[in-house]
Structures are given as structure tokens and as C-alpha cells.
């Protein structure tokens, strides 16, 4: 357990506060718009997946999937209890929804976000409605997600407004993916690099 006070983060690392949230029954998020097209990917290639993952998550230092081998990544995204969805506009994938049903009685919103050009256009609301509806098509008692202080500043409030309840926080320290080569060095300029 961390003691109260300041704790220095080693050089080459990034630190973040992670907030875990859950939903025990489907939230009423209002009328669902049919203006958005969602596409489910059953057999996505690792290269395609890494591209959409990076396009959505680069500004927030998403890196956890980028170091996986093709076999390890395929084992996740092709698992029968894993749903990989994209928001598709004019044939281009501009949003990512990942629903992980591999734990009995639960669903994790493993990854969720839009590409920079979709921020502020209402896509997030439509996507979370789709995610909630899909999660509760199975007999689950818990739909959960986590967000962190590296994510968009709006993320935590967005999840709470969508009906999730914060349940705990953690501190995470990880190697900075801009220094390990998983993400371009100029990504996420709002987060300082301490080499």
C-alpha cells in the first residue's frame, strides 16, 4: 500500500490513477440513434487490429495490446467470448468497442474510443448505447470498465453519465511506450516524457 504523500516515478515510466467502474443492470441512456453503423469483426488480422487500436488510442498512450505477438493477440480477438466492434463511416473504421465475456457472469468493456476526428460528434454516446445493449444480451450480473488519467479528461464523467458507478481506484506505473518503441515518440504531447 502506498503511504500518504508524494512518490517519485522512475525515469522512463508513466504513472496513472486507474478508476474501475461497474454497471449491474442496463442503464437507460435514452433513445438509440440508427444513424451509426457498427461492424462486428470475427476474424480480424493482427495488423488491422493494431492499426485501429493505435488510431483510437495513440493520443492516450494505449499500448497494452501492441507488445503482444500475433498468436497471443489473435487468441484474444478471435476468442468466441470476445466481441470486437467498430464504428464504420463510409467504409472507414473510426471507433472501437471491445466486449470481453470470457469471465462467467460478467462482461468487461475492454477498450472503447473513437479516432480524433470523431471526438465531439456524438459517436461516443451511440457507441456506449451499443456496448451496453450488446453486453446485456448475455446473462451477466456485472458490466465493468476502467479508465485512467492518461485517457481523455472526459472519459470518467462520460462513463458515469452512461450509468457506470466508480468502485475503486489503483495507481499504475508502466514503461513509457514512447520510449519502448510501441508508440511514436511525439504521441500524447500532453503527457511529458521523462527519459
DSSP secondary structure string for all residues of 136-192: TTS--SEEEEEEETTS-TTHHHHHHHTT-EEEEEEEEEEE-HHHHTSS-TTS-TTS-
* Its pTM surpasses 0.85: yes
pLDDT tens across 150-171, in order?
Answer: 999 999 999 999 999 999 999 9
pLDDT tens across 68-83, in order?
Answer: 999 999 999 999 999 9
pLDDT tens across 92-149, in order?
Answer: 999 999 999 999 999 999 999 999 999 998 899 999 999 999 999 999 999 999 999 9
**Residue ranges per structural domain of the chain:** 13-180
Domain covering 13-180 assigned CATH 3.40.630.30 in the classification: yes
Q: What is the CA radius of gyration of the chain?
A: 17
Q: In this structure, what C-alpha cell is assigned to residue 137?
A: 444480451
Amino acid at each position: 500500500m502506498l503511504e500518504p504523500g508524494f512518490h517519485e516515478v522512475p525515469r522512463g515510466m508513466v504513472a496513472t490513477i486507474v478508476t474501475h467502474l461497474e454497471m449491474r443492470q442496463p442503464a437507460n441512456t435514452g433513445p438509440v440513434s440508427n444513424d451509426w453503423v457498427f461492424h462486428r469483426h470475427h476474424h480480424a488480422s493482427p495488423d488491422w487490429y493494431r492499426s485501429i487500436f493505435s488510431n483510437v488510442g495513440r493520443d492516450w498512450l494505449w499500448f497494452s495490446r501492441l507488445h503482444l505477438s500475433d498468436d497471443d493477440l489473435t487468441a484474444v480477438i478471435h476468442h468466441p467470448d470476445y466481441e470486437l466492434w467498430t464504428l464504420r463511416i463510409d467504409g472507414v473504421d473510426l471507433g472501437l468497442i471491445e466486449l470481453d465475456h470470457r469471465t462467467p457472469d460478467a462482461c468487461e468493456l475492454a477498450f472503447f474510443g473513437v479516432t480524433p476526428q470523431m471526438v465531439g460528434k456524438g459517436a461516443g454516446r451511440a457507441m456506449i448505447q451499443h456496448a451496453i445493449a450488446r453486453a446485456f444480451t448475455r446473462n451477466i450480473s456485472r458490466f465493468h470498465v476502467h479508465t485512467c488519467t492518461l485517457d481523455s479528461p472526459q472519459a470518467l464523467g462520460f462513463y458515469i453519465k452512461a450509468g457506470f458507478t466508480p468502485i475503486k481506484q489503483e495507481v499504475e506505473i508502466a514503461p513509457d511506450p514512447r520510449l519502448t518503441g510501441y508508440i511514436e515518440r511525439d504521441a500524447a504531447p500532453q503527457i511529458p516524457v521523462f527519459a
